[in-house]
Amino acid sequence: MRLRERFEGLLFAVLAAAKELYGERLVTLAVFGSVGRGTPRPDSDVDILVVARNLPRGRLARVAEFERVEERVANLLEELAGEGITTSLAPVIKTPEEVNRGSLLFLDMVDDARVLYDRDGFFRRFLKRLRARLEELGAERTRYAGTWVWVLKKKYVPGEEFGGLKWW
pTM, entire model: 0.88
The domains located in the chain, with CATH, are 3-122 (3.30.460.10)
pLDDT in tens, 92-129: 999 999 999 988 889 989 988 999 999 999 999 999 99
Residue 156, pLDDT score: 67
Q: With H, G, I as helix, E, B as strand and everything else as coil, classify residue 32.
A: strand
Contact 31, 1 (CB under 8 A): no
Q: Facing residues of 141 across strands? A: 150
pLDDT of residue 90: 97
- Sign of the Cα pseudo-torsion (105, 106, 107, 111, in order): positive
**Residues 4, 111, 57, 96: is their CA dihedral positive or negative?**
negative
Mean pLDDT of 134-152: 84
**Cα–Cα distance measured from residue 60 to residue 69, given in angstroms and rounded to the nearest whole number:** 15
Q: Which amino acid belongs to residue 60?
A: L
